Structure 1
Amino acid sequence: MAMQGNDFSIENINQRLLQEFYDSYDEELEMELDDLRFGDGRKPEPGEKAWRKHYFRELLRLQGELVKLQEWVTRTGHRLVIIFEGRDAAGKGGVIKRITQRLNPRTCRVAALPAPNDRERTQWYFQRYIAHLPAAGEMVLFDRSWYNRAGVERVMGFCNEQEVEEFFRSVPEFEKMLTRSGIQIVKYWFSITDEEQELRFLSRIHDPLKQWKLSPMDLESRRRWEEYTEAKEEMLERTNIDEAPWWIVQGVDKKKARLNCISHLLRQIPYEDTEQKTITLPHRERHDEYRRNPVPEEMIVPEIY
């Protein structure tokens, strides 16, 4: 399948698809893969390896700050909602993964709601999202949110224009109500180009480990790029309020997008470093009468590695 534009030769497409493959793995494994990749005879682009090492160092530093942020949220009882919106394959899941990677899942969780069931379709539109809002000391990351109504539901015809208009009237008041109750809302829109989305979809098509990310809805959204653009522009215009403004993340370069988003997020919360208590490992008690019973051989997992 040919890419649009003049910068996408077959060689460039193949190289980008390979980069997409590497990008789907954890950072530690990716560093090891990089050593192999740059040793395979391919000459790296000027500064490419240096940039990737800088990326890993910055990511770990920012993740350390996220740990401090979570400790502050837990200690102060702060309530934080972070909304991630954007086109399919825009990189929302990647940044969510890096934010939560080293945090305590007991007080930081991801809400990625499926399509509403028959009962939920008869409820107040915001009702099913309310159950996922944070209690004191919690952070909730919405991988898509109530803004589905202004995007996929509207473009795909799952709601009518009267329902869309009601959403636009309601959502500013809904978010103002949440902020008045003490919940901080941070909203991100991940922006990518037409060509970049096409490449990422091709990567998913040709990578068996990522094909699960593609759905018929994703493929249809690709065809309706321009309709999504119009819906997105109206959504940002009508729901950008002082209490919960939109922030646009330039997402064509995934790694830069992750660093920029996390760095920006940290600046939105007035967290302070928490003094760590000294942890002392207690001595294990030993008793002469203690005996360990042997484990039956048939219960042991075979050591094939």
Structure 2
Amino acid sequence: MPQLKKIEGSDANYDAELRLLQIELVKAQRQIISSGSRLLLIFEGRDTAGKDGTIKSITEHLSPREAHVVALGIPSSKESGEWYFQRYVAELPSSGEVILFNRSWYNRAGVERVMGFCTNAQYQQFMTTVNEFESLLVGSGIQIIKYYLDIDKKEQARRLESRKTDPLKQWEISPFDEQAQAKWKAYSTARDLMLKKTSSQEAPWTVVNANNKKLTHLNLIRDLLSRINYPNKNQKILVLDSGIVMHCPPLGKKQPKLAP
């Protein structure tokens, strides 16, 4: 997997291209609804990698009755005493639904691991059971597509600074922002282990170079559409940039290196 690099500029036809892709998303959702399919999209990534904006670009014109974004907060004391996956199970898609997880059970493999919010035993338990859990979901008819949005350290620093100065981004400020830079290497290590151990045959990971937000949106949506079956698909607009969208091989295959 090539190292991430900053992509300068953006496509002048971004709005026009996004509109065409969003039309395809609507077509895909109509097929999901009519067929009673169930689609689960998982979005993980570095802090400031643009998960919120990417999810918005996907859901903007979808039917809100059948497409829901799930962004669970810190577990309550009651939830902390439950089976780790329990509160996520309640949010899984029903017939005809698309559910988008803005962070997911992979919190345990990322922020919880790096920040010490879980014990080593809890982390190890998660890493040894998550593939089986996802396999059960896929076996029940849920299609799982997992995306990890990655950016380089310099770009993250720039975006963190922007949060401090832009009054429209104040809600994005997190007490963990400074730790994102200070613990950069620890997050890299946690990311690499997560991708290596949990990119299964049934639910592999796709890494997206998110240094350029517009190119992230376009290419991630293209990849998503290419993995959903629906009629009258416009294949001509689904050509991917391989420097932005990188598919992780399944377990047992040699994992390529990401930028440190």
TM-score tier after normalising by the smaller chain length: 0.7 to 0.9
List per-residue Cα deviations over 1:163-220 (Å, max 9, x = no partner): 1100011100000000000000000000100000000001111101102101112222
**Aligned position for 1:259:** 218
Query: Higher relative contact order at CA 8 Å, sep ≥6: structure 1 or structure 2?
Result: 2
Distance 1:89 1:112 in 2: 15
1:142 aligns with 2:126: no
1:226 correspondence with 2:185: yes
Q: 2:117 aligns with which of 158, 167, 189?
A: 158
Mapped pair 1:85 → 2:76 = no
Larger radius of gyration: 1
**Map of 1:174 onto structure 2:** 133
Which amino acid in structure 1 is aligned with residue 69 of structure 2?
V
The answer as to whether partners of 1:72 and 1:273 remain within 8 angstroms in 2 is no
Instruction: Name the SS of the counterpart of 2:176 in structure 1.
Output: helix
Please state if 1:68 is matched with 2:27. yes
Residue 161 of structure 2 is aligned to residue 210 of structure 1 = no
Q: Which blocks of at least 5 consecutive residues in structure 1 are unaligned?
A: 1-44, 275-305
The equivalent of 2:198 in structure 1 is 239
- 1:20-59 equivalences in 2 (<5 Å): 51-52=11-12, 54-59=13-18
Counterpart selection for 1:121 from 51, 70, 80: 80
Q: Give the secondary structure class of the aligned counterpart of 2:44.
A: strand
Question: What is the alpha-carbon distance in structure 2 between the residues aligned to residue 106 and residue 71 of structure 1?
Answer: 12
Aligned-residue offset at 1:271: 1.3
Matches within 5 A, 1:178-193: 178-193=137-152
1:219 & 1:120 partners in 2: Cα distance? 27
Q: Distance in 2 between matches of 1:218 and 1:144?
A: 16
Is the contact between residue 66 and residue 103 of structure 1 (CA under 8 Å) also seen in structure 2? yes
Residue aligning to 1:95 = 54
Distance 1:253 1:221 in 2: 19
Q: TM-score, normalised by structure 2?
A: 0.85
Per-residue deviation, residues 13-58 of structure 1 (Å, max 9, x unmatched)? xxxxxxxxxxxxxxxxxxxxxxxxxxxxxxxx9xx68x33x11111
- C-alpha separation in 1, matches of 2:199 and 2:209: 18
Q: CA deviation at 1:273?
A: 4.0
| Number of equivalences | 226
Structure 2: runs of 5+ lacking an equivalent:
1-7, 234-260
